[in-house]
A and B are shown apart, each in its own frame.
Chain A
Amino acid sequence: MISETLPTATAENRFIRAKNLMAAMVGFHRGLFLIAVSGAAVFAVATVLSSYGVKLLIDEVILPSFAEGTVGFSMWASVSGLVVTIGLVRAVGVVVRRTYAGKANSSTAKSIADKALRHIMRQPPMWHRSRMTGDVAARAGVDTDAAAAILGPMPFASSVIVLLAVSGVWLIVTDLWLGLFAFLVFPLMLATNILYQRKVDYHYQVAQDELGALSEAAHESFDGVLVVKAFGAEERETERLAVISRRLRKARTKAITLRSTFESVIDAAPSLVNIAIIAFGAVRVRDGGMTVGELSAFVFLFTLVSLPLRIVSYLFSELPHSASGWARVQQVLQEPLLSAPRDAINRTTSTTVLPSGAAAVHMVELRDVRAEHVPGVAALDHVNLRVERGRTVAIVGATGCGKTTLLHVIAGLVPVSRGDLSVGTSRVGLVFQEAFLFAESLRYNLTLGAPVSEAVIADALRIASADGFVSELGVSLDTELGERGVSLSGGQRQRLALARALAVGSELLLLDDTTSALDPGTEAEVLNNLRTLGASVTTLVVASRPSTIALADSVIFMADGAIAAAGPHDELLRSNADYRTLIQAFEHDRQTTTPTGAR
């Protein structure tokens, strides 16, 4: 598991984390971000100008016309033109800001996801085996999205600085006291926003955790439906889930209480400030310090400024979520790539001269090999093995004796920690115990993206005895498999996995109990088909059915991570007592069922 301990958030390192996050996110697509910020700046300046337009409409058009009874059309037209232009420029600013903030966000999310997944996929299997698949996938998916999400509100929030500066200057130039008053109110409103956000985020976080717990419990409860029904526990289970739902409701209700108060305060505050501006401004108008238009424009401006202030608080609210997403992505990115065991395999073959005088080419050769899943604990030790090209070798042993590990070592998925391993080909087709099929076309599942002709695919399906059900199911090479497509039985999946190994031209087949999900007849058929391939394919097969074992040229009998004996099946049955016992255990069923008569 990747460590979950993120640095504790003191105020200072929260600030540093936020700064680092923002710098990192902006860095991926700086150009797009800068365009978004420019759009936001245009918007900010136009916002202040639009309230100046309001002043002009009042001071130059409305008031004179009512005072004098007439107004020049040209004055109305020119002020209107200005107001409309400012409005359009402001809208363009909004469009540019939102479009490019979105572009920066989406492009950054893609860049990080691609980078993280590339890194993850280069890690060898032992890295993956020590981690949860879902967690690793989340780091390339939802976590990268969370990290990049901060780019959404950032341009708008940065424009708030421009907005406050420009409107502040205008306010102070027009009226020093009113300007100072506003400058007192802006930070106060900003602080209220941020304070609220932090408080409410706590409740949202609690609710989020409860939701996670609920989802997990619901999953479990529905998965166990048969048990729930069998023991008549429907009501107990509903109550168990209802308890979690009540905790969720409680957290949400707390957030709502806080929020309803805050929303009303934050809506009422600009109105109250505006009322103060009217009262205070009236005195200034009386003194001739400002015009009625300016007074109205300030009221207008204040309403416009209060919205961006809220965006800043959204930014603050988004920060922890984004920062922890980014931290989780970085954890995987910063983990050094472990060396791939495949690269350490010696790809040469040795040859020995048999007593008959013929030369035997060894496709696989292990000399005193040791392998460990957990450091210091041998899963395989002192393994010496030679497999001649074109042979079919059965690997037999009790559960946990190292059969699968042996295949994975040869396939280059598990590293050799001592000894030498030579495999005479890089075309190794490992067929796992559990066939992994992708929710993709049949063709992709058979070729994994390699260019393979239809004829070769057809041949592979035939040898794997998969052609029959493929045509019966009416599946074409482009039919999608899995969730959204055709669902297959375990035996069918196994045969497709075997066909895959053949289609990509494997010279060494490693079958990990592959044929066990097949009925005995089909299993024999598949193994016989494989034998027809002759010297072009060497096969190592983990087997537990006596009938299967008997089909192999020779047997490797494993016990406790080592090879206990090797030789033809009949010979081992004669010479090795342990082997005999094991085969008898495999035949257990047959023996216990020998009719005993009195029943």
Chain B
Amino acid sequence: MLTDDITQELRRRGAVDTIRAGIAQAPALGKGLGLTFGLALLGAAGRVTIPIAIQQAIDKGFVDGGVRLDFITRLCGVAALVVLLAALCQRTAVYRLGTSAEEGLYGLRVRLFDHIHRLSLADQNEERRGALVARVTSDIETLTMFFAWGGLAWMLDLSLMFVVACVMMAYDWVLAVVAFAVVAPLIIVLRLVQSRLVRAYDRVREGNAAMLSSISETVAGVETLQAYDAVEPALQRVEAATEKRARSSIRAGFIGALLFPSGEVFSVFTVVAVVGIGVWRGDAAGLTAGSLVGFMFLTYRFLEPIAEFTEVIDQTQTAVAGLRRVLGILDTPIGPPPATNPVPLPVGRLGVALHDVTFAYAPRDDEPATNVLTSLTLTIPPGQHIALVGESGAGKTTVARLVARLADPTKGRITIGAVNVKHVANDDLRRRLTVVPQEPFLFADTIAYNLRFAKPTATDAELATAVRSLELDDWVASLADGLETKVGQRGASLAAGERQMVALLRASLVNPDVLILDEATSSVDALTEVRLARALRKLSAGRTTISIAHRLSTAARADRVVLLADGRILEDGSHDILMANGGEYRRMYDAWLTATRA
């Protein structure tokens, strides 16, 4: 079908473009590729040596019923030398392809790491995180596998077919044309079946993913399933998934099995045709017995790679798809660009101001861009503690992110110490401003390691001072290994409240002038609550502080409350004034008070 052809054409062009773009991103992949292929061609010469040697032996060695041993000896000596030299060339070609692939893929990985770390937070949300890890591991891995097997096969096999075809033409072009003509239908068969094979493999992958997620979900949900006596139906669902996977892989295996010997089958027909026509044309056409035998051997060789091709086609497509996804990440624009001519932040306490700020996330897929913040102006004098309140989605987190320059406003500007944050060097900004996120993230190491993440040069004494200044000594003393206590994966060995304490300590090491606190929502026990409140008070004392308050008690303690609704400031003033005004804040506060009262 015509439309089918067009799609095919587009897809193919897409593949070539993808590979070109890939080489542009990882130049080591393309470097010296020409020489590598040249060596592979020379290496292939080793594999036509035997047919040529047999032809020579038959035509010149076994003459008139006798055998010229001296000639045979010389012939074998030369042949052995050619084989050895060719092997050396092939070794170099394989080595070069492999090492440049590793070099290129290493470069690609590091580029990806760098790029992903610089992506704006909007492109880094939780749903996409698993996908990002997949890009740097399994997708790059499909490329590694490709270079280790498929890519190598393409290089060696194409070189072999090319060299064999050349030698065949040199022996007898008529026979060569006959051979190619008999092989032609194979190309059609391959093309027909290959697309089925690729689809079949796609289904195997889908079935495999469905099976694995079904298994892990069932295991993860074991308590629920047992509590509801629903294990049996769940097992039946998994068994349906394992059955589907087995069926799809058996089917793909069958198509592959049919395709695999196609090269051999065609070579049998080609050989008998070549021999038939060869003896029919005979001496008259300048053919010799030896060259016909040699030709026969070459024909077998010519079709040898077909079996391997049928196996690497799927892998090649997988690799191109993997590369496409990797490039997709590299094409995603990074977050706030670094300042070109950085302006240093002034010494001393810093105020924060938002001037007519509008923010909208970039439109994604079919979702249109909607404003998260609209023309927001807010001035926070140095040392003031403000609380941002409002329903979820009101824009509190966005304000915090923009001030921390984790994203740039769509319109308007943000100043810290009267300097536009866009003009502040990242290092400078991070030394003066710190964020304590809602769910503090800890690395799987010790508490000390996590504290030093904020300041790699911090001495033990500095850490101890920080602990003391936030009055967390008793907590640290209660830990088995003090600051050397391991926190486990993502801090799982610590309680939620303890993770927050580490986060506060970590922020205090930076000794920032501006502090942004995203209040935790998880409930903690009363003692921890008291400790945290005390540490927070200590930490924020004297610093310009922006708290995203989920608990209105936090708002009540702040110097000033800013109530956001739909990306605009609805009310702004101290807790007492807003309460006296009897507006929306008053309503929220009263509702909250009722709910928490017995």
Contact = CB atoms under 8 A, between A and B. Distances in A.
10 residue pairs, one from A and one from B, having the closest CB atoms: A102-B253, A449-B233, A520-B595, A87-B268, A546-B598, A232-B430, A256-B98, A98-B257, A448-B230, A585-B526
B171 interface: no
Interface string B323-361: 000000000000000000000000000000000000000
Given A286-B66, A449-B230, A242 B113 contact: yes
Contacts of A429: 227-228
B575 interface: yes
A574 interface: no
Given A103-B250, A214-B136, A599-B576, 12 more contacts: A62-B278, A67-B289, A83-B268, A102-B256, A106-B245, A221-B117, A223-B441, A231-B434, A267-B87, A279-B76, A299-B54, A448-B224
B154 interface: no
A110 B240 CA distance: 10
Contacts of A299: 50, 54, 297
Interface in A130-144: 133-134, 136-137, 140-142
Contacts of B129: 219, 222-223
A103 B253 contact: yes
Interface string B493-512: 00000000000001000100
Nearest to A43: B261
Contacts of A587: 596-598
A238 B46 contact: no
Looking at B223, B300, B557, the one whose CB has the most chain A CB atoms below 10 A away is B223
A583 interface: yes
B457 to A, nearest CB: 12
A218 B130 CA distance: 10
Interface stretch (B78-86, B190-198, B365-373, B462-470): B78-86
17 contacts: A57-B296, A62-B292, A87-B268, A106-B245, A106-B246, A231-B430, A232-B427, A256-B148, A260-B95, A274-B50, A276-B76, A278-B53, A448-B234, A500-B228, A520-B591, A587-B597, A595-B575
Per DSSP, chain B at the interface is helix
Interface in B544-565: 551-553, 556-557, 559
A66 B62 CA distance: 13
B9 interface: no
Contacts of B232: 449
A91 interface: yes
A33 B186 CA distance: 30
Interface string A566-591: 00010001000000000101111110
Contact of B261 (A54, A95, A102, A249): A95
Contacts of B293: 58, 62, 296
B289 A83 contact: no
Nearest to B59: A66
Contact of A589 (B114, B267, B553): B553
Contact of A237 (B117, B236, B597): B117
A114 B235 CA distance: 8
Contacts of A106: 245-247, 249-250, 253
B512 to A, nearest CB: 10
Looking at B217, B258, B557, the one whose CB has the most chain A CB atoms below 10 A away is B217
B16 interface: no
Interface in B399-438: 404, 406, 426-427, 429-431, 434-435, 437
A99 B598 contact: no
Interface in A67-88: 67, 69, 71, 76, 80, 83-84, 86-88
Nearest to A98: B257
Contact of B598 (A267, A274, A569): A569
Contact of B62 (A84, A248, A285): A285
Interface in B231-279: 231-239, 242-243, 245-247, 249-250, 253-254, 256-258, 260-261, 264-265, 267-269, 271-272, 275-276, 278-279
A257 B225 contact: no
Given A137-B215, A411-B227, A224 B598 contact: no
A87 B265 contact: yes
A54 to B, nearest CB: 7
Interface in A382-437: 398-399, 411-413, 426, 428-430, 432, 436
A232 B596 CA distance: 39
Interface stretch (A120-128, A165-173, A351-359): A120-128
Instruction: Please tell me the size bucket of the interface on B.
Output: 35 or more
B90 interface: yes
A278 B76 contact: yes
Interface string A275-307: 110110011011000001000100110010000
B178 interface: no
B83 A117 contact: no
A597 B529 CA distance: 23
Nearest to B336: A229
Given A125-B226, A232-B429, A286-B67, A259 B84 contact: no
A168 to B, nearest CB: 21
Contacts of B429: 232
A142 B212 CA distance: 8
B43 to A, nearest CB: 8
Interface in B364-407: 404, 406
Given A260-B98, A504-B228, A88 B490 contact: no
Looking at A87, A268, A285, the one whose CB has the most chain B CB atoms below 10 A away is A268
Given A282-B69, A595-B579, A76 B276 contact: yes
B226 A413 contact: yes
Interface in A36-67: 54, 57-58, 61-63, 65-67
A253 B129 CA distance: 29
A482 B430 CA distance: 36
Contacts of B596: 520, 545-547, 586-587, 589-590
B478 to A, nearest CB: 15
Given A91-B265, A113-B215, A245 B110 contact: yes
B137 A275 contact: no
Nearest to B68: A282
Contacts of A411: 227
B215 A117 contact: yes
Interface in B284-314: 287-289, 292-293, 296-297, 300
Instruction: Please tell me the size bucket of the interface on A.
Output: 35 or more
B69 to A, nearest CB: 6
A173 B455 CA distance: 80
A569 B597 CA distance: 13
B72 interface: yes
Interface string A210-236: 010011001111111111111111111
Contact of B220 (A113, A140, A237, A436): A436
A454 interface: no
B264 A87 contact: yes
B227 A278 contact: no
B47 interface: yes
A137 B219 contact: yes
A245 B288 contact: no
Interface string A322-354: 000000000000000000101000000000000
A153 to B, nearest CB: 13
Contacts of B269: 84, 87
Contacts of A593: 552-553, 556-557, 593
A131 B404 CA distance: 40
Looking at A136, A230, A296, the one whose CB has the most chain B CB atoms below 10 A away is A230
B446 interface: no
A128 B223 contact: yes
A599 B434 CA distance: 25
Given A222-B116, A450-B233, A587-B596, A271 B288 contact: no
B257 A279 contact: no
Contacts of A253: 98-99, 102
A413 B223 contact: yes
B595 A264 contact: no
A120 B440 CA distance: 34
B124 interface: yes
